[in-house]
Amino acid sequence: MPAIAAIGAAIKIGGAIFGAGRAKREARRQRKRARALNKKINHLEANRQDVINPYDQVTSLAGMATDLSSTMSNPMANLSVATKAAEMQIEQADISLANTLDTLRATGSGAGGATALAQAALQSKKGVAANIEGQEKANEDKRAAGEERLEQRVAAEKQRIQRINISEGAREQQAFAQGRNIEFQTQENRDNTKLNRLYGQQAQAQGAAAAARSKETSSIMGGINALGGAISGGAFGGGGAASAAASGGGGLGSSNSLLGSGSGLLAGAQGGTGVSMPGSLTANYGSTNTLGGQYSFSDKRLKNNIKLISVSDSGLNIYSFNYKNKVYGKGKYQGVMSDEVPSSAKIKDNNGYYKVDYSKIDVEFKQI
């Protein structure tokens, strides 16, 4: 029966170790994947486009507005007085007077007749002169009015063209700025989408790594519990676990046993071909000798290289030591001797060796 129990325990422990190893490899793979994704994220973040101001190239269009006052003039400024008619009138009066005098000399007529004749001729000339002067004045007014209307039309056309140029220039600048902004936002959205996808993949990888680590711990705990149950039940023979470990004979200590130093499942603790307990167990449970419980083997008979290194606040001696049989732990440890702690903090196993509950004393059990 012990042999059957030992085989069953060994199968459980072997399965636990295999599951822990597989979970550990999966956790390592997922961590590597998460690191690769993080590298991609950092590269994408470092090479994102610069934030732009889409309006930084907008310029003032004030230069397109010109002063049109130089194209305007006063068409009335150069109006002239119609003097030709007056000059003609004076000339005709002189000629008429001269002719009249000549006639008077030739005919011997009286001065009164000559005067009347001259006045009649002058009056006729005045009418002609006045008519000419009126026509000239009317023509000048019409020419000035036409010039004014023409200048107004030219100025209005120039203003229209100027408004079109300014409006079109503003439209082009606005369209250019909007185009740059659309281009920037499109690339930004693409980068954000890619980043979000990478962040999601990274979170998934990190979650998978955490789940694998949890599975690894569960597998290890299952193996520890199976090992503890097998040892406490005497499944490995040889008078129990502790005595076998102390004597180096059958059971745990044997080089041919399932958990021994030669080729057993825990042979790695002594450099054999088996699998050693991972370091995380030491951190969580003190050492592999806890066997799934909160007690650690602290019997002086199981230790060597004992050296006092300190004293706790409650007065307990703190030692450094090695276990004689590496199945209880490989390397140097810190702890107490079971014969120096209160009875309430220790128990005796079936083989007569004491284990200490370190949660009840002010000394930490750890590998150093």
Question: Using CA atoms, how far apart are residues 367 and 293, in angstroms rounded to an integer?
Answer: 17
Q: What is the pLDDT of residues 297-351, one digit of tens each?
A: 899 999 999 999 999 888 899 999 999 998 888 999 999 999 999 998 999 988 8
Q: What is the pTM of this model?
A: 0.39
pLDDT above 90 covers a percentage of the chain that reads 14
Question: Using CA atoms, how far apart are residues 157 and 68, in angstroms rounded to an integer?
Answer: 11
Q: How confident is the model at residue 246 (pLDDT cuts 50, 70, 90)?
A: very low
Q: What is the pLDDT of residues 13-32, one digit of tens each?
A: 888 888 888 888 888 898 88
pLDDT above 70 covers a percentage of the chain that reads 66
Lowest mean pLDDT among 132-146, 162-176, 200-214, 273-287: 273-287
Q: How confident is the model at residue 1 (pLDDT cuts 50, 70, 90)?
A: low
Q: Kindly give, in sequence order, each residue whose CB lies less than 8 Å from that of residue 120, ignoring residues fewer than 6 positions away.
A: none
Question: Alpha helix (H) ranges present in the chain?
Answer: 2-46, 84-107, 111-232, 241-247, 279-285
